[in-house]
Amino acid sequence: MNDVTRHVLVLPDRDAAEEVSTELTDLFGLAEEPQLVRDALAGEDDAEDAQWLVVVEDPSARFDPKALDALAAEHDGWLEAP
């Protein structure tokens, strides 16, 4: 059984998500950038009404959730609870 910890940071727009992805890669020395996922809000068709998710795989469970949440908060986002 593969228990890989996955962190999901929720950001208000693509620019913020890209900035956080780059910062995470630099801060934690990730081999590859985290995955970015557009998450349209329920019932909304407008591209402006979407959140962006930054998905970080953490196989060694070495990333501090409080630090991830603080980074997301700097960009008006948050760390999704597991």
Which phi and psi (to 5°) does residue 27 adopt?
Answer: -65, -45
Residue at token pair 């630090």: 67
Secondary structure element (H or E) that encloses residue 8, with its range: strand 5-11
* Contacts for 64 with CB less than 8 Å, ≥ 6 apart: none
Q: What is the pLDDT of residue 42?
A: 57
Between 10 and 40, whose confidence is greater? 10
What are the boundaries of each domain within the chain?
A: 5-79
Chain segment 21-80, per-residue pLDDT in tens: 999 999 888 888 899 999 876 555 555 568 999 999 988 888 999 999 999 999 999 999
The amino acid sitting at 5 is: T
State the fold for domain 5-79. Alpha-Beta Plaits (3.30.70)
